[in-house]
Structure 1
Amino acid sequence: MRWTAAALAFAFLAVGGANAHAAGTLELYKMVRSLQLVQDQLARGDHAAMPMQQKMLAMIDERFRTAGTEEFEDRRNLTALLVYAMSGGNPTTIEVVLSKLRLEGEDAVLGKGVLAYMTGQMAKAGEILAPIDPMARGSETGAFVALVKGSIMGIKRPEAALKLMDQARLLAPGTLVEEAALRRSLPLVLALERPDRFLVLAEQYTRRFLRSPYASEFADAFVEGMVTFHDAITEKQIETIVSLMNPAQQEAIYLRLARRSTIKGQVDRSAFASSRATAISRQVDGEGDPRATLYQAISSITSENVEEVLENLEKVDPDQLSPRDRRLLLAARAIAAEVLALPTGVEPSVEEASQPAVSKTVASHASEAAGEETLAHTPTGSEEHPAPAISAEAALSEKPSEEVDTVSQELVSSVREKLDAVDRLLGEVEK
């Protein structure tokens, strides 16, 4: 199949490049089938097909624009038009062509619905496409219809959307449609709180489409699932899926999981992911990744080991981190240093207790690294994403026997709240 796709595509491009008139004589449905073959190769990891896809889309677009209405009397060409529309085609071209045709029945409904979808009118598209049964249309257009309808419903109607994604996969196995359906199913099972189904879908995607150019979206959803289903998915189950990846991919996933778990305050998961990332990094490069050290240090902080954590944080070289993680490191250092500086034997005044003891330090350190005015000021309670402060009043318990536990809980909670706030601020700056 790989050779066939390449041969068809190159033959198609050769004809188009050598003679524009000759390209104009190619049957529309044959051109679109060649495009689908190339897109399926993309889904399976042939990134070299990306520029080929762009060239083919441009040529097919021109071909549809100049096609006569009589060409669409051939049912195969009409089907090709609808498939092209749902395969990343030009909405302007689709609108021009549809305006020339006198479609009837379900074809007319599908044409209007697809055009609405392509132009971003999701609610309208959903209403128009509602009566169309993807399974009744067969594999050529049915798979695309199921994918489009499921994408429109999304997490607003996750149960129905997931059923449509299953139909898309059933109608078009091994294609870009199946890749997209699998990838878009993960947020749906997250919304439905189905960890077992999440694991099945994640493993299927990892085995079939991990080399897809769209796999980064899968990685985001996979990591989010590991955090969301923290209590339902075991470390062994995570390792089973991640082991299907190559070492570089494994390290990347574990680092992302470590960072996300750290921000969410999931100490055990962060420690697990950090240690796995470090082990894999040492196998590949002979040394640990500084990001793993950073996340592990932050997630393991308690009232008893603040000095040790700060010492470990000081060993992390900021120059080896991304700008975002560099700010996170500086914020974590500032928080730990501020905690060590807190008085432990003096009851703070009401005014002092109400002051954000750490937020100014965090913001100033983060802004110093980022050079962003957005982070340079101390957020107030009226702003969208305030940085919550350590409560000195809560940290100093009136019951000496509970002092250690109280301080530890307050410290861990506050540190993670700070990091979460800083993370949100960094996200806003990067947008």
Structure 2
Amino acid sequence: MGFFRRLLLTGTVFCAVLAGAASARAESMDDLAPYKMIRSLQFVQDTVVLGDHSAMEMQRFLLSTIDERLRTADSAIFDDPRNVDAALVYAMSGGNPETLELLIKKDIAGHFDSRLTDALRGYLGGRGTQSVKSLAEIFPEYKRSKVGPYLALVSANSVIRKDPKLALSYFDWARLVAPGTIVEEAALRRSIYIASESGWIDKSMTYANRYARRYLRSPYASQFADLFVKLAVDHFGSVKEEDILEILSFMDVPRQREVYLRMARLAAISGKNKLAVLAAERAQMLAGEGESLPKALADLYSGLASVPSSDVAAAMDTIIAIPDDQLSPKDRALKAAARAVAEEVLRTPQASAAQQTTDKADKPVEAENASYEGLNEAEMADRAMDPQARGEETPVAAAEPEQGKKEQQEPQEKAGIDPAFDTFVSSGRSKLDEIDALLKGEGS
């Protein structure tokens, strides 16, 4: 029942906004207060993050309409503080930063707090770090005002790198005072990132759980999926399998499958083979009848993870069997890299030339040993001591050239100790260099 009431209310508001906007255009919008337009914008934005993507076009329409209204408004309209707040909320809600600049230039009466506008101008102009101190000083004063939740988001974004703990406190405040809104959605999504990067895994999982319960239908949910996949892969071990299953349980089957495939891919690339195989198996289980693409991707990521295992031959067969036309260019590159590694692992090095030479050199020794057969111990001793009996010239004359020959042969044997093995290693290194270059281009 609540859904239908909300749907009816949304339709009513849309009609009212459209009718009001049409009437306002006919009357040059002189009688339409900016704060009323901002209320409509906030409602539409909240509706979007709750899952009504059809409202996104209305959001764009309202932003452009409010922009025009603010630019053409008489300065006296800002005698009402609600319109001042509306202009600030507009600037922090994806509005045109140049409009705020224009309003500040026209503000002869001092309706706008210069401390706040200067900090916002720095932040919106890409100079967020320069606004940190001023925003920290201003926020306590404005935290309970209409602009408080938006200012909390801006303040948090400006200190994320320098003070992640403070940033989380700003985001927590924004969620507290604006539940069920686009402000809470943004605060939760960014809190997951901060907590994960700071190593606060329990906090990050708590934020992820709350997001999954509330905002999976948001158009920004794909960003959440990327954050969650990275969190699960980077901290697998601290993040338990049951924790992953709990969060994904709030998703429908197609979304679960998509997240598992993303997780399997990133885990395989990152060397988290256990998680890669687990996620790939889950994705395969969720594949519907006749859906070949999810199965092909799951086979690829599972095979990639299995290459370092003892079952590399089976992994090789699985990888080769995956049709290239079912893979994206990046996944085809991954398949080629995995196949190259598997082939190098399975290839048997050939016997070296040095080894073959050694084998041949051993044969005369065996023949010489055989020539001693049938001699008694005394005769064997005499023959061993007598170089002429062995067909040699003299011990000294024979020793010198043999020693020199040995010294000449040793460097050659060291230089080419095993050409086949050396070629094998060089080829493997080349393949690994290619794969490293490929994986450096991968973002998760």
If the TM-score is normalised by the length of the shorter chain, which range does it land in?
0.7 to 0.9
CA contact (8 A) 2:174 2:187 kept: yes
Over 3 Å counting, the alpha-carbon distance change for 1:334 and 1:67 in structure 2 is: same
Aligned position for 2:427 = 357
Aligned position for 1:3 = 8
CA contact (8 A) 2:84 2:111 kept: no
Q: Deviations over 1:145-200 (max 9, x none)?
A: 11111111113321111111101111111000000000000111112212211111
CA distance in 2 between counterparts of 1:187 and 1:34 reads: 30
Aligned position for 1:17 = 22
CA distance in 1 between counterparts of 2:441 and 2:198 reads: 29
2:70 equivalent to 1:64: yes
The alignment yields a C-alpha RMSD, in angstroms, of 2.5
* The 10-residue stretch of structure 1 (135-144 or 39-48) with the greater mean CA deviation from structure 2: 135-144
Residue 308 (structure 1) aligned to one of 301, 305, 314: 314
Aligned position for 1:191 = 197
2:244 equivalent to 1:244: no
Residue 132 of structure 1 aligns to a residue whose secondary structure is: helix
CA contact (8 A) 1:2 1:41 kept: no
CA distance in 1 between counterparts of 2:100 and 2:303 reads: 55
Aligned position for 1:333 = 339
Shift of residue 284, structure 1, vs aligned partner: 8.4
CA contact (8 A) 1:116 1:122 kept: yes
TM-score for the superposition, normalised by structure 2: 0.78
Residue type matched to 2:187 in 1? A
Over 3 Å counting, the alpha-carbon distance change for 1:303 and 1:287 in structure 2 is: closer
Over 3 Å counting, the alpha-carbon distance change for 1:284 and 1:207 in structure 2 is: farther
Residue 53 of structure 2 aligns to a residue whose secondary structure is: coil
Q: Deviations over 1:211-253 (max 9, x none)?
A: 1111111111101110121111111111111011000100000
Over 3 Å counting, the alpha-carbon distance change for 1:255 and 1:420 in structure 2 is: farther
* The 10-residue stretch of structure 1 (349-358 or 335-344) with the greater mean CA deviation from structure 2: 349-358
CA distance in 2 between counterparts of 1:176 and 1:200 reads: 19
Matches within 5 A, 1:265-276: 265-276=271-282
Aligned position for 1:26 = 32
The structure whose Rg is larger is 2
CA distance in 2 between counterparts of 1:163 and 1:309 reads: 48
Aligned position for 1:87 = 93
Residue 232 of structure 1 aligns to a residue whose secondary structure is: coil
Matches within 5 A, 1:24-423: 24-102=30-108, 107-134=113-140, 136-138=142-144, 140-282=146-288, 285=291, 289-302=295-308, 304-343=310-349, 348=418, 352=422, 356-358=426-428, 360=430, 362=431, 388=433, 419-423=435-439
Residue 281 of structure 1 aligns to a residue whose secondary structure is: coil
Shift of residue 127, structure 1, vs aligned partner: 3.1
CA distance in 2 between counterparts of 1:246 and 1:210 reads: 10
CA distance in 2 between counterparts of 1:247 and 1:139 reads: 42
Q: Deviations over 1:288-321 (max 9, x none)?
A: 5211100111112236322211111111111111
CA distance in 2 between counterparts of 1:19 and 1:27 reads: 10
CA distance in 2 between counterparts of 1:153 and 1:350 reads: 57
Q: Could you list the runs of 5+ residues in structure 2 that have no partner in the other structure? A: 1-5, 353-416
Residue type matched to 2:15 in 1? F
Paired-residue identity, %: 38
CA distance in 1 between counterparts of 2:152 and 2:337 reads: 46
TM-score for the superposition, normalised by structure 1: 0.80
CA distance in 2 between counterparts of 1:163 and 1:349 reads: 63
Over 3 Å counting, the alpha-carbon distance change for 1:29 and 1:287 in structure 2 is: closer
Shift of residue 111, structure 1, vs aligned partner: 1.4
Residue 155 of structure 1 aligns to a residue whose secondary structure is: coil
CA contact (8 A) 2:24 2:32 kept: no
Shift of residue 341, structure 1, vs aligned partner: 2.4
CA distance in 1 between counterparts of 2:145 and 2:271 reads: 46
* The 10-residue stretch of structure 1 (320-329 or 96-105) with the greater mean CA deviation from structure 2: 96-105
CA contact (8 A) 1:135 1:167 kept: no
CA contact (8 A) 1:262 1:298 kept: yes
Aligned position for 1:424 = 440
Aligned position for 2:384 = none
Over 3 Å counting, the alpha-carbon distance change for 1:15 and 1:106 in structure 2 is: closer
Over 3 Å counting, the alpha-carbon distance change for 1:256 and 1:43 in structure 2 is: same
Shift of residue 107, structure 1, vs aligned partner: 2.5
Q: Could you list the runs of 5+ residues in structure 1 that have no partner in the other structure? A: 363-386, 389-417
Q: Deviations over 1:67-119 (max 9, x none)?
A: 11110010110010111110011011110011111476982211121122112
* The 10-residue stretch of structure 1 (139-148 or 33-42) with the greater mean CA deviation from structure 2: 139-148
Shift of residue 27, structure 1, vs aligned partner: 0.9
Residue type matched to 1:422 in 2? L
CA distance in 1 between counterparts of 2:64 and 2:38 reads: 12
Residue type matched to 2:441 in 1? L
Residue type matched to 2:247 in 1? I
Number of corresponding residues: 373
Shift of residue 354, structure 1, vs aligned partner: 10
Residue type matched to 2:55 in 1? A
Q: Deviations over 1:31-61 (max 9, x none)?
A: 0110010000011111101111111111100
Shift of residue 339, structure 1, vs aligned partner: 2.4
CA distance in 2 between counterparts of 1:106 and 1:15 reads: 27
Residue type matched to 2:267 in 1? S
CA contact (8 A) 2:303 2:318 kept: yes
